[in-house]
Amino acid sequence: MTVDLEAASTTQLVNAVSAIAAELAQRQAPESAAACLELTETLAAACDIQESALAGFIRRVDTTGEQKRWGYPSTRAWLRSRLGMRENRTTERLILARQRDRLPQVAERLAAGELSYGYAATVAQSVARLEDTDCAQAEMTLLGFVDQGFSAAKVGVFGRRICDVIAERDGTDTAPGEDAKRGYAKSWITSTGSLDGGRYIKGWLNAEDAAIWDGTLAPLAKPAGPDDHRDAGERTAAALSSVLSGGHKATKVTVICDLETLTGGNAPARLTDGTPIPAAQARRIALAAGVSPLLLGRGHTPLYLGYRERFASAAQRQVLETLYPTCAVRECEIPGTLCEVDHVNGWALGNSPTDIDQLVLTCGWHNRFKHTSPDQIGISKDPDGRYVYRLLPPPGARSRSRTGSGPPGTIGPPDATANWAA
């Protein structure tokens, strides 16, 4: 492979890097551990330099809103879904892209290979809350700590302290944290799911709500007796669960299982998001919440229910949440419980009655996107009969595979330079 670096377009350079990376991934690591150590450091430094270019690309997409033309509601959603980034890396790259123009020294040193991506991302995150003047001062200070050999983690600590001092000094905090923006007049609670089906809870209660909390939960959170070895947190969680379930009455929990499981079998059940739960736990939930049968046909597809009203019924909604743990758009991660009911072929067009086999769950953004850009949604069914929506390129745009447009060793399609040259 021969590439004229000065004459090559940006597209040709990116395709060359992609081809080299694909070839390198197929090579076996050298036998020499010392050589591997040196190569690792060299390759990591090269990856950091590439992060500079990547930040520029992301910045351009973010400022122009190009991702929306392709069916992604935000730059963050595009990075997570299309590029498969985890949340932490998505946040790092997005902040660096947005702060890059305000950090000229960081951008220059990152592009020159004199600053690692970890340091650059740390500095960018530290100054995100500052005005431009304070940002410039903070950049010089934090790069000074970098030059002194402090780790990226310690530079991050210094950055948070500098940010807090500057913001408190003269009220220049232009983007306070979510908690601070809410204030203390209103109560709030946020929750995020864990990988095992659990949920992390964070929140704030004002004085009035805190009094209700204490008055309701404190009596229920007392130790049940000398043999109750639960700590206060465990007892409080149990008390809250009891209150939310109405004293073990009318709890709405959807558990998918066989009749044999409820009658003593060992086959595991699952929640609507696919989380498996032991048979014994499924039976405990059934005893506490009651059982509502859901008749399933072949392939675990709910049978036709015959509802033809404009809006889906509560029963249909329950079935849809069982079928669609997330938005029907394959690239979207919004939980089904937060989605809207969508008529597959358009109720207003007279092609899609409100029948269970004509309904899906989509998030609010993609529901609107589907009806304003119908030619950018591909509709199909999976082997179990569930609808799958896939995002299609905008009209006239050239589709690109996530894994590249040609086999390893090629430099993109023949028209790459004509269509994508910088």
At 52-76, the pLDDT tens digits run 999 999 999 999 999 999 999 889 9
Question: 3-state DSSP call for residue 121?
Answer: helix
Non-local (6+) Cβ contacts of 262 within 8 A are 282, 283, 286, 291
The whole-number pLDDT of residue 253 equals 60
CA 41 – CA 28 distance, rounded (Å): 17
Q: How many CA atoms lie within 13 A of 278 on its CB side?
A: 3
The whole-number pLDDT of residue 193 equals 65
The whole-number pLDDT of residue 293 equals 52
The whole-number pLDDT of residue 316 equals 79
> Do 310 and 347 form a contact (C-beta atoms < 8 A)?
yes
CA 150 – CA 141 distance, rounded (Å): 12
Non-local (6+) Cβ contacts of 280 within 8 A are none
Residues of the chain with pLDDT under 50: 176, 180, 248-251, 295-308, 402-422
The whole-number pLDDT of residue 176 equals 47
Which ranges in 70-185 belong to alpha helices (H)? 75-81, 87-99, 104-111, 117-127, 132-147, 152-170, 178-182
Output the DSSP codes for 31-64.
S-HHHHHHHHHHHHHHHHHHHHHHHHHHHHHHHH
